[in-house]
Amino acid sequence: MRARLFALACIISGSIAPAMAAAPKSNFALSSSDPQLAVSVPLIYTAKAFGCSGGNLSPELHWSGAPAGTMSFVVTLFDRDERSTPSGWWHWVVYDLPKTTTNLPQGAGAERSGALPAGTLQGRTDLGEDAYHGPCPAEGDPPHRYVFTIYALNVAKLPVPADSSGAMVTSIVQEHLLGKAVFVAHYGRPKK
């Protein structure tokens, strides 16, 4: 009700433009030191399962420009083009990354990884593992979009159980979100 009255007062007073001023632009950015990710996902990062013979290593990721007040980060990898499920496919879920973290080294997504900061958890992917599993789209599919996302949160620990799924983590993230940055990589397998 207050918001409606404020909007009405702004319209009446002719000050709607200042009241609706755009929020400051965010400098929050996510990228990788591997320039090949911008072209196509290199085999070293693809799955070693389901007919794919990649290295199944998670790529190096780094970020900068986190919003003020950030207390922790979440990193995910999601295939929005996976057709075997109606909701896409979660390839990696990392949460409770401390606010001082600015990168994940290559291979940090290994099961029981020692490369993740203390207290950081990996959630359950759609393969049922608490670890990174690389892209492996169906042969002949057009290249899939693999969306790496970093979320900046206003809590140090995400209030979810250990072993939470990507869907659960990203749902609860929305309640604590300060900002996010995205990096999209593409990968397809030609039909043999």
Residue 172's pLDDT is what? Answer: 97
The per-residue pLDDT for 50 is: 85
The CATH number for 24-187, chosen from 3.90.950.10, 3.40.640.10, 3.40.190.10, 3.90.280.10, is 3.90.280.10
> Residues 131-168: pLDDT tens digits?
999 999 999 899 999 999 999 999 999 999 988 999 99
Residue 12 is predicted with a pLDDT of 38
pLDDT at residue 20 greater than cutoff 70: no
- Quickly state the pLDDT bin for 9 (edges 50, 70, 90): very low
CA distance 147 to 139: 20
Rounded distance between C-alpha atoms, residue 116 and residue 32, angstroms: 17
Asked if 81 and 144 count as a contact pair (C-beta separation under 8 A), the reply is: yes
Q: How would residue 25 be classed by pLDDT, with cut points 50, 70 and 90? A: low
Give me the mean pLDDT over the 75-89 stretch: 89
Instruction: Grade residue 85 by pLDDT with cuts at 50, 70 and 90.
Output: confident
| Residue the block writes with tokens 């085999």 | 43
> What are the residue boundaries of the structural domains of the chain, listed by start?
24-187
**Terminal Cα-to-Cα distance of the chain (whole angstroms):** 61
User: Widest CA span of the chain, in angstroms?
Assistant: 68
What mean pLDDT do residues 24-50 have? 91
Q: What is the rounded average pLDDT for all residues in the chain?
A: 87
pLDDT confidence band for 87 (50 / 70 / 90): confident
pLDDT digits (tens, 9 = 90+) for 97-125: 999 999 999 999 999 899 999 999 999 99
Q: What is the pTM of this model?
A: 0.85
